[in-house]
Amino acid sequence: MDKIPIEKMVVVLKLLGDKTRLTIVSLLKERDCCVCEFVELLEMSQPSISQHIRKLKDANLVTEKRKGQWIFYSLNKENDAYSVILSILDHIPDQDEKLLQLERISKNVCCD
């Protein structure tokens, strides 16, 4: 694995230091998600979730893919810090309960 510049790691670690963004990244490790799913799951406003996603996108940690009129987000596996992110996620509790909620939500929200 190549070394990642300190400046880049500082950005990644700051972004993952936020509970909401860490949760989003943890869920994106398991599946692609739409903003509306995060709004329901995390019980936050759409602008707030969108701001968190924008920060992750600006750091190239998250990519987007359009499916019809909806945009789905996923972890950017091409990012230099991807393996570091996975390593960090290995040290937090699994998100099984949230993933089950997400499955229920995805059947009932806008992006189906």
In the chain the domains, ranked by start, together with CATH numbers, are 6-106 (1.10.10.10)
Looking at the predicted structure, is the pLDDT value of residue 29 above 90?
Answer: yes
Tracing tokens 């998250």 back to the chain, one arrives at 62
pTM of the model as a whole: 0.91
The model's confidence at residue 42, banded by pLDDT at 50, 70 and 90, is: very high
Inter-residue long-range contacts of 99-104, CB under 8 Å, 24+ positions, other chains counted: 99/27, 99/30, 99/31, 101/41, 102/27, 102/31, 102/33, 102/37, 102/41
Position 7 scores a pLDDT of 95
Give the pLDDT confidence of 90-112 residue by residue, as tens digits: 999 988 899 889 888 877 766 65
pLDDT of residue 111: 66
